[in-house]
Amino acid sequence: MPKKSSTATRWYSLEFFIELLKPVSAADDFTIGLDQALSWLDQERHAVTGEFDVERGYFFTTCASVQNGNPIYWDDAAIADITGGPTAPLTMLSAWFRPHYWMPGRETIPLPWETHFELKDTLALPEAVATDSEVAFGAPIRPGDRVSCVETLRSLSEVKTTKLGRGRFWVIDCVCRNQDGEWVGTETMTAFGYRKG
Amino acid sequence: MALKDHDSLLAGDVSTGEELPELRHEVSATSVILGALASRDWRPMHHDRDFAQQRNGTRDIFMNTPNQAAWLERYITDWAGPRARLGRYKFRMGDSICPGDTIVFTGRVEDVAPDDTGCHWATLNIELSANDQVKTRFSARVALPADDNDNPWARRGDDWRP
């Protein structure tokens, strides 16, 4: 009867040691660009100011598109009584800092959520999906206002595995203020940047 | 509870578990494009069917996110009235909404409670469906007047905590 060893012995194949000596492939390396991305945490970046003053005509177009008859957008008495003057439909927040389709002399159009696309590139995560979005509304936006926004990376997760692939979750705030610096709203996007498989 | 003219619901009129009235509407290409242009979204998948089908793989052009939010805003204030002030909403989108789809909004009051400033908040869970499928799930927090003399729109600074 063979003698049983008191300590377990595990045998490894030659291929196992060869595999250990191989450099980590880019596909498995989730530290690419990590230090740079972490340096963006809680830093205000990509400030944008709307190219146009807030215009009441857009209010009516938005309301017409969804047949919103709320009197605070249509009825002068309700406007004076309730909102103290015309206000933009709240959910138009992002419209006020989006660039127009064309302007003379403009060569590039700034992208909303630029930090999101920078994270994809910097962390070498070619795919991304927005998983959750949240919007909070502050002071009402009124005709003649000029809205500015600035992005801040709030969090960057450890490497996670989901059914989509491996990658990281991040949360970005886009904080919006009017020309007087008054807070008018914040959009927050949670996204998962990943490599398939 | 149904509203007349410019009336608004008061916080005391609303109770947890209450269902919001259903809203149905058939989406048209015109309304999708109107909504995209009003939100300054010039991306072609919201006005060019060939682009949407070939590049996005969708059935047709589709409603953009701000337009879905505009529908949400209408749905809430149709129910609560003009003094109601939307403070915050979250959403998770699933599938696209295209012209010809009949959208259906349904909702439920999850909670009604005042904050430390005396502002009364209703928390709502809302679903946007089309073709018998939930397309987007929202949760929203809307300020309701406490009484006939209260107006959430008058709140500023620290008195407004959405």
Cβ–Cβ < 8 Å for A171, A155: yes
* Count of other CB atoms within 10 angstroms of residue A101: 10
The C-alpha angle with vertex A122 and arms to A189 and A50, in degrees rounded to 5, equals 50
Cβ–Cβ < 8 Å for B77, B7: no
**Residue A8: pLDDT above 60?**
no
Strand partners, A191: A130, A170
- Chain B nearest-CA distance from A112, in A, is 11
Q: According to the model, what pLDDT value does residue B49 have?
A: 97
DSSP states along B29-40? HHHHHHHHHHTT
Which has the higher per-residue pLDDT, A186 or A10? A186
- Chain A nearest-CA distance from B78, in A, is 7
Cβ–Cβ < 8 Å for B145, B8: yes
Terminal alpha carbon distance of chain B: 24
Which has the higher per-residue pLDDT, A101 or A135? A135
Mean per-residue pLDDT over chain A, rounded? 89
Mean pLDDT of A2-24: 55
Cβ–Cβ < 8 Å for A114, A183: no
Which has the higher per-residue pLDDT, B94 or A89? A89
According to DSSP, residue B83 is labeled T
The residue assigned the tokens 């909403």 is: B89
Mean pLDDT of A90-119: 89
Q: According to the model, what pLDDT value does residue A4 have?
A: 44
Q: Which residues of B touch A87 (CB under 8 A)?
A: 153
Q: According to the model, what pLDDT value does residue B1 have?
A: 46
CA B52/CA B66 separation, integer angstroms: 18
Q: What is the pLDDT of residues A46-74, one digit of tens each?
A: 999 998 999 999 999 999 999 999 999 99
Q: What is the pLDDT of residues A25-43, one digit of tens each?
A: 667 889 999 999 999 999 9
pLDDT tens string, chain B, 162 residues long: the values are: 444 445 889 999 999 999 999 999 999 999 999 999 999 999 999 999 999 999 888 999 999 999 999 999 999 999 999 999 999 999 998 889 999 999 999 999 999 999 999 999 999 999 999 999 999 999 999 999 999 999 999 999 999 999
Please state whether beta strands A127-137 and A183-196 pair in parallel, antiparallel, or not at all (unpaired): antiparallel
The residue assigned the tokens 């709502």 is: B124
Domains and CATH numbers, chain B: 11-153 (3.10.129.10)
Q: According to the model, what pLDDT value does residue A112 have?
A: 80
Spatial CB neighbours of B151, under 8 Å, sequence gap ≥ 6 = A82, B83, B145
CA B42/CA B44 separation, integer angstroms: 6
Burial of A174 per CB tally in 10 Å (0-12, 13-18, 19+): buried
Residue B10, both tokens = 């008061």
The residue assigned the tokens 């390396």 is: A29
Cβ–Cβ < 8 Å for B136, B128: yes
Using alpha carbons only, how large is chain B's radius of gyration in Å? 17
Question: Residue B86's closest CA among B63, B58, B107?
Answer: B107
The torsion defined by the Cα of A134, B113, B156 and A87, in degrees rounded to 10, comes to: 60
Which has the higher per-residue pLDDT, B100 or A127? B100
| CATH T-level topology, domain A25-55+92-196 | Thiol Ester Dehydrase; Chain A (3.10.129)
- Chain A nearest-CA distance from B160, in A, is 7
Residue A170, both tokens = 């991040």
Q: According to the model, what pLDDT value does residue A197 have?
A: 72
Measured CA to CA in angstroms, residue A108 lies from A99, A100, B80 at distances of 10, 11, 43
Query: What ipTM goes with this model?
Result: 0.93
Reported confidence tier of residue A20, pLDDT bands at 50, 70, 90: low
Q: Which residues of B touch A57 (CB under 8 A)?
A: none
Q: According to the model, what pLDDT value does residue A24 have?
A: 57
Chain B positions with Cβ closer than 8 Å to A: 6, 25, 31, 34-35, 37-42, 65-67, 69-74, 77-78, 82-83, 85-93, 151, 153-154, 156, 160, 162
Spatial CB neighbours of A102, under 8 Å, sequence gap ≥ 6 = none
Q: According to the model, what pLDDT value does residue B95 have?
A: 86
According to DSSP, residue B132 is labeled T
* Partner residue opposite A62 with nearest CB, options B6, B70, B91: B70
